[in-house]
Structure 1
Amino acid sequence: MAHYAAPKSIDALNSFRFERILNEDLLTHTLIVLGTLLASNGDQSTIHSGERVPAIIRVEKTALDAAQTSTFFGEKDGLVKKVEIVESTDIYTWLFGWLGENRECDLKINVICPATEVHIRKYTKQQQIMVRETPELYEQIVKPYILAFPASRTQWVENILTGISEQSKILFSSPAFLLLPDMKWDLKTVSSLYLLAIVQDRAIRSLRDLRHAHLPLLKDIRLEAGRIAKERWGMGNEYLRMYIHYQPSYYHFHVHIVNVNYEGGLLGMTVGQAHLLDDVISLLELDTPTSPGIFERLTLTYGLGDQHGLFKPMRSAMSPGTVLSGA
């Protein structure tokens, strides 16, 4: 019986004949493929004529070297040799970057400029604590924080809703909401499909503002997102995960729609932060048009980072012995 050795040269690898993809991990940028290689002996000197053996090849993009980040951009010796703009709206710009000529796209580049102190804190590595936001804490701490949020932080949303930017990307438009690809998606890889529904009603800032009267809006978002995904990418509702963040990254109500198998967004689907749209609809259906809203009455538990603007007041309010005014 011939001895079949693993390939140790580029010539041996070049005999690979692709059969199918076994796995794709978007979080680690890894592809695992099945195929065949020409059989060879132990020292790679002889390839058995025409005989092929099954082979699995795992391809993973290497990690970025933090020590090199200061040299990514520069007039003379920057490592990034080419960029292509994807979209730009208000202070946010998205680009693809190449580290050399004749290469596939190496980098997705997001730029925030000018960046505020709030942005800097948001993107700084954080330690989290779990907080229990009672209706009282919401009214006394969280709601004033949301209402004081500067309009400039959601100007890019306004630009989309008012037709200033990203109009060519809109997949569905109605007087109630827009549906479009999220900037995190490359618009090509269906396994990482990521859409966003943004509502027109500026009074709905977060999950806490949802009421029984909003049920038609939420059901329409679910219906149209499913229809668009099915018509354009062949993905029925059973392949979609639709959810709402609390706390959200910006206070204008929106719904995330992603491929249910998309693992690259797991950090945004943390227990406590992500609330499934189906569950939100079911909870609102327990209300009546005249009863206090269920999201007014719920205590919500979620993780809060130490750089978040709510961290200090919420931690202080939850300390033993703290008495809320009016409690």
Structure 2
Amino acid sequence: MEREVDLQSLKAFVLERVLDEDPVNRTIILLGSFGDSTHAIVRIEKTALSSSMVNALGENLEKVEHVEKNDIYSWFMGWLSTAARTSPDLKINVIFPCTEAHIQKYTRQQIVMVHETPALYKSIVEPYISAFPPSRTQWVTDILAGKTEADKILYRDTDSATGYVILPDMKWDLTTLSSLYLVAIALSPYIRSLRDLRRMHIPMLKSVRREAMRVVRERWGLGTGAVRFFVHYQPSYYHFHVHIVNANYAGLMGSTVGQAHLLDDIISMLECDVNEGPTIFERLTLTYGLGDQHGLYAPLVAAQADVEP
């Protein structure tokens, strides 16, 4: 029987180690358990948060409000016992049970810049992506099928080939406009990453840009140029999605050079592409930062000796 995470679970959290802490983004990521042998990852975000506080998480946490649950992912708003405010002090994301892959992903990593040639994509990266079992993106499938987070969908295009949904990203607290964070997820499972984009996807990408701007304008009053659209490579999961954030969202590591590609640039590159033969994203050598905990780190770093700078 699947165990639900609640306030009592969080108060019983036993810290094993701090995976990462980021004072710029005011976050700390913890590995531990809820009193048994099953690992859990807890990500806490606060205005100011020190690592010394987390050892006494149960003593300081007075109340939590469950926001959403999707497969092994849960997130909450939390109030500390020292606070009498109506607004929460913490945003808490939980992955339970978590796997070794989750632990590696959320552990602070040393970044190395690698060059991924088309040949290295075919020989190393594509087999790596294809080896992932469907269960790794089951939570995405559940969103697209309307089984989870259905009440959060802001826009849905139902075309099976070019459709997508737009909804708030789990990293957003749903309140602070300056850190607005939405995500558009393609319905098609055949677009796994930037490498799979073709000229035929231009209408879909333009639609994402257009409809997301309409949503943020109508719901939150944000005008032209107020949001930033980008795509990660390598992405955190291999089902194509576009990140949509407030253009003033500072300190967002995932939008830095070496990982993020602006949607406008992607559309422009596809529009300049040839009509026949390999597409531009099949021909490009992509340069990006890769963490030493990533599954591609060892083979790609080893292959760099054969790549001309």
* TM-score, reference length from structure 1: 0.76
- Report deviation, 1:216: 0.8
Aligned 8 A contact 1:210 1:295 in 2? yes
Secondary structure class of the residue paired with 2:109: coil
Shift of 1:290: 2.6
- How far residue 28 of structure 1 moved from its aligned partner, in angstroms, is 5.5
Q: What residue in structure 1 maps to residue 156 of structure 2?
A: 173
* Amino acid across the alignment from 1:235: L
Q: 2:189 is aligned with what amino acid? A: R
Distance 1:318 1:233, change over 3 A: same
**Residue 305 (structure 1) aligns with:** 291
Can you list the C-alpha shifts for 1:3-44, whole angstroms capped at 9, x where unaligned?
A: xxxxxxxxxxxxxxxxxxxxxx98469xxxxxxxxxxxxxxx
2:108 to 125, 139, 163: 125
Which residue is 2:55 aligned to? 70
Aligned residues of 2:167 and 2:184 also touching (Cα < 8 A)? yes
1:147 aligns with 2:130: yes
Which sits farther off after the overlay, 132-141 or 280-289? 280-289
For residues 99 and 230 of structure 1, the distance between their equivalents in structure 2, rounded to whole angstroms, comes to: 34
Where does residue 79 of structure 2 map in the other structure?
A: 98
CA deviation profile, 1:270-296 (whole Å, cap 9, x unmatched): 102000000000000012343321000
Verify the 8 A CA contact 2:61 2:80 in the aligned structure 1.
yes
Match of 2:142 among 159, 178, 183: 159
Contact 2:26 2:47 in 1 (8 A): no
The partner residue of 1:217 within 204, 212, 219 is 204
Query: How far apart are the structure 2 equivalents of 1:125 and 1:27?
Result: 14
**Contact residue 72 and residue 95 of structure 2 kept, 8 A:** yes
Query: 1:121–1:307: 8 Å Cα contact kept in structure 2?
Result: yes
Which has more radius of gyration?
Answer: 1
> 1:207 is matched with which residue: 177, 186, 194?
194
Match of 1:314 among 293, 300, 306: 300
5+ long unaligned stretches in structure 1: 1-24, 30-60
Paired residue for 1:292?
A: 278
1:43 matched to which residue of 2?
none
SS in structure 2 at match of 1:152: helix
Q: CA deviation at 1:190?
A: 1.5
Cα drift, residue 71 of structure 1: 2.1
Equivalenced residue count is 262
Tell me if the contact between 1:97 and 1:108 (Cα under 8 Å) persists in the aligned partners.
yes
Alpha-carbon separation, structure 2, partners of 1:173 and 1:88: 20
AA of the residue aligned to 1:304: L
Answer whether contact 1:26 1:192 (CA < 8 A) is retained. Answer: no
Give the Å deviation of 1:194. Answer: 1.0
Q: Which residue of structure 1 lines up, in the alignment, with residue 266 of structure 2?
A: 280
Does 2:257 correspond to 1:271? Answer: yes
Structure 2 residue matching 1:185: 3-state secondary structure = coil
Once residues 62 and 166 of structure 1 are traced to their aligned partners in structure 2, the CA distance between those partners, rounded to angstroms, is 27
CA distance in 1, matches of 2:149, 2:193: 23
Distance in 2, matches of 1:63 and 1:260, equals 23
**Who is 1:135 aligned against?**
118
1:108-149 per-position Cα deviation (integer Å, ceiling 9, x unaligned): 111001100000001111111000000011100011001111
Give the drift of 1:192: 1.4
Which runs of no fewer than 5 residues in structure 2 stay unpaired? 1-22, 28-45
The amino acid across from 2:70 in the alignment is: T
Q: Which residue of 1 aligns with 2:63?
A: 82
What root-mean-square deviation, in Å, do the aligned CA atoms of Structure 1 and Structure 2 show? 2.0
User: In structure 2, the residue corresponding to 1:318 is in which secondary structure?
Assistant: helix
Contact 2:26 2:49 in 1 (8 A): no
Q: Which amino acid aligns with 1:253?
A: F
Match of 2:184 in 1: 197
- TM-score by structure 2 length? 0.81
